[in-house]
Amino acid sequence: MSTLAKSPLMGQMMSRPLLISTVIQHADRYFGDTEIVSRRVEGDLHRYKYRDCHRRARRMANALAGLSVEMGDRVGTLAWNGYRHLELYYAISGSGAVMHTVNPRLHPEQIAYIVNHAEDQYLFFDLTFMALVEAFAPYCRTVKGFVLMAGRDRMPKDSTLPNLLCYEDLVDAAGEDYAWPEFDENAASSLCYTSGTTGNPKGALYSHRSTLLHSYATVMPDALNLSARDVVMPVVPMFHVNAWGLPYSAPLTGAKLVFPGPALDGKSLYELMENEKVTFSAGVPTVWLGLLTHAGQQGRGFSTFRRTVIGGSACPPAMMDAFRHRYGVEVIHAWGMTEMSPVGTACTLRAHHLDLPEDARQAVLSTQGHPIFGIDLKIVDDDGDELPWDGKARGDLLVRGPWVAHGYFRGEGGDVLRDGWFPTGDVATMTPDGYMRITDRSKDVIKSGGEWIGSIDLENIAMAHPAVQQAACIGVHHPKWDERPLLVVQKKPGADVSKEDLLRFYDGKIAKWWTPDDVVFVAALPIGATGKLLKNKLREEFAHYVLPTA
């Protein structure tokens, strides 16, 4: 794009801002009788319809006004995926305040930091998190009240929380007449902090416009492909980058919503999916391990489950294979990040792939795919020069688009853009036909003798071994090569494999010099609050590890 010019002639189309409140109004009006089913913290299943959700969201919007929550104020939530959380998504953002979803898996100190940094005015939380909230509440400097997302009967007799309110009391006391305000579509709508594996968490501040454009783009056939015939179960948490936008995109399309609440074990997920006829789900690879293990142990398949989006981390090929070939579930490999709302790319086939042999098609589907329209991306070298799309050149991945952050809340991290592009911190290759493959996080790349070794490739091979539950590959110091790969492995329960056998497993699958120099078996790999492997923890732990080749 060159100069910014002003057109002397404006189009004559209605000026209608892109606002989150229009989503729930559309769902009510055109899909009012479509169900939302939620596994509650209380253990039971709750069922109601989009029109009920809209009615209660309007009541909650009135209640927020009664609590003096104003345009732009941040309101925090610590909650599972469920109907009350969905109501808050619309009540808070729709009324012009900012929905701040907090990850309850973070350390209480980190939560207090985030709540203070966001200057949350109120904090809504599920019963599960009562003790957690009591633990960090004394450190919250801006919270005027805590709202327990439950009925009067669940309110504790005594609590250390100052100004503890009851969600259902607020809803009951408020009227259902509420006119959603109209305002600038660039107004802040929601706030989500990065997991902060290094340094303090930083907040991505979404706008109504960015949220709606992201919704339009993710619904498309070559992204999540959502329709009014789908039954959508967001397993990815609503506190994890807005459950990849599903709380917006499902109502927008009229899909039935099924919320698993806190029951994320394989058995609970499986039964809910079967009972509610789930067709589509979304989650990180770690959560699917439990589901696949349960289905495998029971020797049962899926009756209605047809598509799953897997993102958050690269999906191990063995998992893709199990979904696709054992269960007939289409896996859509996606990639994104908190700073991208989060979806940036999704992998689907193009027409010329349809006649390829099965393994060639699977190779395409193992990439992270194309950017969805609105997102542009490029790979660059250290000087910022664009690298060729030859499927080989690895470079820093930069992105831009109307749902990409240009900075962090309250200026944290300073200027983050490089010439108008957001540096993702990922390293990727591009195929000549525009498919992107993440080869590593830039900080996870193993630098051996001046060459790069991709840790993800090495992990994927290990995870294809039948005895391996999960694997991580990190670079450790080597006197001659600077760094060499060390494979850290968590075995499957009851399974066994020797170090030598596992290293032999790499033969012929990869360049000889990429083979890890050593293997260490551990009881469990460190997993972060969003389900990702914490490689920085592993690097700390093995900082002084001496390789046998050293």
Which of positions 115-144 make contact with a second copy (CB under 8 A)?
Answer: none
Sheet holding 145-148, edge to edge: 98-101, 74-78, 120-125, 145-148, 164-166
Residue placing its CB nearer to a second copy in the complex, 256 or 491: 256
Q: Which two tokens stand for residue 327?
A: 């269960």
Q: How far is the CB of 545 from a second copy (least distance, A)?
A: 41
Catalytic residue among 392, 443, 447, 509: 447
Q: Indicate if the alpha-carbon torsion angle 530, 224, 336, 353 is positive or negative.
A: positive
Pick from 201, 263, 260, 182: nearest CA to 16: 182
- Angle of CA points 73, 207, 133, to nearest 5°: 45
Q: Which of residues 442-501 bind a second copy (CB under 8 A)?
A: none
DSSP 533: B
Q: Is 271 helix (H, G, I), strand (E, B) or coil?
A: helix
Crossing angle of the two packed helices 21-31 and 208-219, in degrees rounded to 10: 40
How many whole angstroms separate alpha carbon 88 and alpha carbon 83? 9
Among residues 77, 194, 253, 308, the one annotated as catalytic is 194
Residue from 457, 434, 459 nearest 368 by CA: 434
Contact pattern for a second copy over residues 163 through 192, marking x by CB under 8 A: ----------------xxxxxx-xxxx---
Candidate list 87, 185, 276, 339, residue with the active-site label: 339
Give me the amino acid identity at 90. Y
d(Cα 40, Cα 126) in Å, to the nearest integer?
Answer: 9
Query: According to CB under 8 A, which one of 234, 247, 254, 475 is a site residue for a second copy?
Result: 254
Q: Specify whether 335 is catalytic.
A: no
Residues in the chain: 550
* CB-nearer residue toward a second copy: 37 or 446: 37
Within 345-364, the residues that bind a second copy by CB under 8 A are 348-351, 354
CB of 221 to a second copy, least distance (A): 4
Nearer to a second copy, 133 or 187 (CB): 187
Residues 20-39 that bind a second copy (CB under 8 A): 23, 25-26, 29-34
Residue window 76-115: x/- pattern of binding to a second copy, with contact defined by CB under 8 A? --------------------x-x-----------------
Does the annotation count 339 as an active-site position?
yes
Question: Bridge-partner residues for 472, per DSSP?
Answer: 488
CB of 506 to a second copy, least distance (A): 33
- The Cα 196–Cα 183 span in angstroms is 32
Q: Which is nearer to a second copy, 120 or 230 (CB)?
A: 230
Binding window for a second copy (CB under 8 A); candidates: 56-64, 319-327, 367-375, 466-474: 367-375
- Residues 272-311 interacting with a second copy (rule: CB under 8 A): none
What's CA 174's distance to the chain center, in Å?
33
How far is 522 from 345, CA to CA, in rounded Å? 33
User: Under rule CB under 8 A, which residues in 396-415 are in contact with a second copy?
Assistant: 400-409
Let me know if 80 is a catalytic residue: no
Please tell me what DSSP assigns to residue 349.
-
Site string for a second copy, 202-231 (x = CB under 8 A): --xxxxxxx--x--xx-xxxx--xxxxxxx
Q: Which is nearer to a second copy, 172 or 386 (CB)?
A: 386
d(CA 177, CA 422): 42
Using CB under 8 A, pick the residue from 72, 138, 162, 449 that binds a second copy: 72
Q: Which of 49, 389, 431, 452 is catalytic?
A: 452
Residues sharing a CB contact under 8 Å with residue 16, sequence separation 6 or more, in sequence order: none
Rounded to a whole number of angstroms, the minimum distance from the CB of residue 30 to a second copy is: 4
Q: Does 386 bind a second copy (CB under 8 A)?
A: no
Number of residues that bind a second copy (CB under 8 A): 90
The yes or no reply on residue 149 touching a second copy (CB under 8 A) is: no
Nearer to a second copy, 5 or 524 (CB): 5
**Residues 271, 433, 501, 540: which binds a second copy (CB under 8 A)?**
433
Catalytic positions: 194, 339, 447, 452
